[in-house]
């Protein structure tokens, strides 16, 4: 389809096209002339974005039902979005990951930062899990999957529809196995440990690859230590610490299924006898451990996004402060407290300050010895702060 055959959407005169020309990938609904023709476009439609003077700016995917009404796909307004186009984007992403990792376990596509807006793909060896979190990707899922299989050789492809963003796009929450089949958890080798990833029934895509570098960094503190991993999921920090020589580690999580996978990972790694689990609400468990007088040399808290949006920012920061207040008393003198946030609405400074307030309210103090972020398979688009969402701040108390 040529540029003249495609529908067009136009920026309002008050909109600033410079940000888009300089790489910002989104157009908000209040920046576009939303006439009847634009509102009639089906979610996921492709259109040419024009500036206020009707000059083409690129090819966008449109969703009139979303606050993000358009996502930039290609600066070439005449680009053909099909298998070859997807293969080029996936191939570029794959080349970067293959330089980083000697085994095929990583985030293969990190949405806008890899040129596929709203698309997340995690790779687990011969399997891949796709989160098509934007209407255009859901609509073009078949050529996307075909390109993924052709470019990587994966045998199994799973669609995960649990992302919060899908609801904002008006999409369903129906998971599906699109290629091949899944027979139980997939073992993943990272940081000297074996993790068990549930690709069809676990949280997100089955594993949090974004914390890999932080798991490894904390493992440097592990030799001989007693480690507490709160919100541990399938044992992220705990298993890496045990692989790094921790004397013992405890994983705390609200999900029995996740803890069972963590235990299975510990057994597969050869240190099941040094790993224990405790199921329960994290806040209540931290309070209970405090009342029991428990002490650990290293404590890590990696909660879900308490501030997933700007409206939730203040409440989220209070929750992070409370986590810090409850966990700080569990750290032995001279020990380490690592606090994490995956909330893009709470920036590093705000999160760091909330954490410090909580530690202070617990009567503890100490310097920050390390600040971590997501690994290099989660590239950050400099024009889009949301792609740099993960923070880890490590205090020595």
Residues labelled catalytic? 342
Joined tokens for residue 273: 């006898």
Residue 213 gets the label, from left (phi > 0), alpha (psi -120 to 50) or beta, of alpha
Q: Three-state DSSP class for 331? A: strand
Sheet harboring 68-74: ordered strands across? Answer: 8-10, 45-50, 56-62, 68-74, 26-28
Q: What b-and-e string marks burial along 201-218, b requiring 16 or more CB atoms within 10 Å of the CB?
A: ebbbbbbbbbbbbbbbbb
Residue 42 gets the label, from left (phi > 0), alpha (psi -120 to 50) or beta, of beta
Q: Helices then strands (H, E): number in the chain?
A: 12, 19
DSSP string, 29-82: GGGB---HHHHTSPTTEEEEEE-TT--EEEEEEE-TTSSEEEEEEESSTT---S
Q: Residue 183 CB: number of other CB atoms within 10 A?
A: 7
Alpha-carbon dihedral of residues 37, 41, 47, 49, nearest 10 degrees?
A: 50
CA distances from 375 to 23, 211, 297, 354, 390 (A): 22, 7, 25, 24, 9
């Amino acid at each position: 389809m040529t540029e003249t055959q495609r529908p067009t959407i136009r920026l309002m005169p008050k909109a600033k096209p410079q940000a888009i020309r300089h790489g910002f990938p989104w157009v908000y609904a209040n920046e576009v002339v939303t006439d009847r023709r634009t509102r009639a476009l089906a979610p996921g439609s492709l259109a040419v974005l024009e500036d206020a003077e009707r000059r083409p700016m690129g090819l966008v995917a449109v969703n009139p039902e979303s606050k993000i009404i358009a996502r930039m796909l290609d600066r070439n307004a005449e680009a053909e979005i099909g298998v070859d186009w997807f293969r080029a984007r996936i191939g570029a992403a794959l080349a970067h990951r293959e330089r980083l990792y000697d085994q095929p376990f990583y985030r293969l596509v990190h949405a806008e930062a890899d040129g596929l807006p709203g698309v997340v793909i995690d790779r687990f060896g011969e399997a891949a899990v796709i989160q098509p979190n934007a209407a255009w990707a859901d609509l073009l899922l078949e050529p996307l999957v075909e390109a993924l299989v052709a470019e990587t050789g994966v045998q199994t492809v799973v669609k995960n529809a649990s992302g919060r963003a899908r609801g904002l796009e008006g999409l369903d929450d129906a998971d599906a196995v699109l290629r091949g089949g899944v027979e139980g958890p997939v073992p993943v080798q990272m940081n000297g440990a074996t993790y068990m990833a549930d690709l069809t029934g676990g949280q997100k895509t089955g594993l949090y690859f974004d914390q890999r570098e932080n798991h490894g960094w904390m493992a440097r503190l592990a030799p001989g230590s007693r480690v507490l991993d709160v919100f541990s999921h399938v044992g992220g920090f705990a298993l890496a610490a045990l692989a790094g020589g921790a004397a013992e580690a405890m994983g705390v999580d609200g999900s029995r299924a996740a803890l069972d996978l963590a235990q299975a990972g510990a057994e597969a790694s050869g240190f099941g006898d040094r790993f224990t689990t405790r199921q329960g609400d994290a806040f209540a468990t931290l309070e209970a451990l405090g009342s029991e007088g428990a002490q650990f040399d290293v404590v890590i808290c990696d909660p879900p996004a308490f501030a997933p949006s700007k409206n939730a920012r203040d409440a989220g920061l209070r929750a992070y402060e409370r986590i810090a207040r409850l966990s700080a008393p569990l750290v032995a003198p001279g020990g380490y407290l690592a606090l994490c946030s995956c909330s893009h609405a709470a920036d590093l400074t705000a999160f760091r300050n909330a954490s410090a307030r909580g530690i202070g309210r617990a009567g503890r103090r100490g310097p920050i010895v390390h600040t971590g972020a997501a690994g290099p398979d989660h590239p950050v688009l400099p024009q889009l702060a949301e792609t740099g969402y993960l923070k880890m701040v490590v205090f020595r108390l």
